[in-house]
């Protein structure tokens, strides 16, 4: 899952980048509203963390522009302590949640997980497909209760497919959502990650839909060919 963080404080920006990256997300950063608005309009994000007190273009204006443009990704706004009017303005502009500075990064991660679950129709931080289970809180996966050792990119591919289980996910979509903006992207590596995942979770869990992409299924619910 790919996250955009728009925050002008460099220390907080680095802190959020580190926490989100360690939690298994691909993260892009912007230090002002102008850059953040551009990234939101040109890159495919699963969620955004948006400070309201931004230079160049304020956060509410950025958020309104995104929503007016039809962009529906979940947005967590960051507000200054005691500025309740900012929260109201942010929600009216289309925000999904808010945090008041200062805050604990664990709370932000929990709220991020909740937003992503709601956006993809899941009720808890543990996503299951048969006996395959991904715990998005711990960034871990198990099959029949046994832990699976995954690299960071293998986990990102699996987590994205699990969030969208049953749907055909094009390879280009996977590339766009597991790599951050600065990563040297190669769509061919997706096939490598899929191959590794099949060896670790079972060959019959990730279906290849020729010319379309990949679909994660529960083998017990899939009719024999």
Tell me, what DSSP letter sits at residue 169? B
Q: Which residues contact 156 (CB under 8 A, 6 or more apart)?
A: 1, 24, 25, 26, 177, 178
Q: Are residues 100 and 174 in the same domain?
A: no
Report field, pTM of the whole predicted structure over 0.95: no
Scan for tokens 């995942």, then name that residue. Answer: 197
Residues 60-72, mean pLDDT to the nearest whole number:
96
How confident is the model at residue 81, as a pLDDT? 67
Residues 80-84, mean pLDDT to the nearest whole number:
73
As a whole number of angstroms, the distance between CA 218 and CA 204 comes to: 8
Q: Which of 98, 120, 142 is the last residue of a domain?
A: 120
Q: Are residues 94 and 112 in the same domain?
A: yes
**CATH number of the structural domain spanning residue 148:** 1.10.10.10
Q: Are residues 90 and 105 in the same domain?
A: yes
- Is the model's pLDDT at 170 over the cut of 80? yes
How confident is the model at residue 138, as a pLDDT? 87
Q: Are residues 58 and 115 in the same domain?
A: yes
Domain that holds residue 191: 126-221
As a whole number of angstroms, the distance between CA 211 and CA 156 comes to: 22
How confident is the model at residue 18, as a pLDDT? 96
């Amino acid at each position: 899952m790919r996250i955009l963080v728009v925050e002008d404080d460099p220390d907080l920006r680095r802190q959020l980048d580190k926490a989100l990256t360690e939690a298994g997300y691909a993260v892009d950063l912007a230090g002002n509203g102008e850059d953040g608005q551009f990234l939101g309009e040109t890159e495919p994000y699963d969620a955004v963390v948006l400070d309201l007190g931004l230079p160049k273009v304020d956060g509410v204006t950025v958020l309104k522009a995104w929503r007016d443009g039809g962009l529906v990704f979940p947005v967590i706004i960051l507000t200054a302590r005691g500025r309740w009017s900012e929260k109201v303005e942010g929600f009216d502009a289309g925000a999904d949640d808010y945090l008041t500075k200062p805050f604990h990064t664990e709370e932000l991660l929990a709220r991020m997980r909740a937003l992503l679950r709601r956006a993809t129709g899941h009720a808890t931080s543990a996503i299951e497909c048969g006996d395959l289970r991904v715990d998005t809180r711990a960034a871990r996966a198990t099959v029949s209760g046994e832990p699976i050792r995954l690299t960071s990119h293998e986990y990102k591919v699996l987590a994205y497919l699990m969030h969208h289980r049953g749907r055909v996910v094009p390879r280009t979509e996977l590339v766009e959502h597991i790599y951050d903006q600065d990563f040297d992207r190669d769509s061919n590596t997706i096939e490598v990650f899929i191959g590794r995942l099949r060896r670790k979770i079972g060959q019959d869990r990730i279906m290849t839909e020729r010319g379309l992409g990949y679909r994660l299924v529960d083998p017990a619910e899939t009719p024999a060919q």
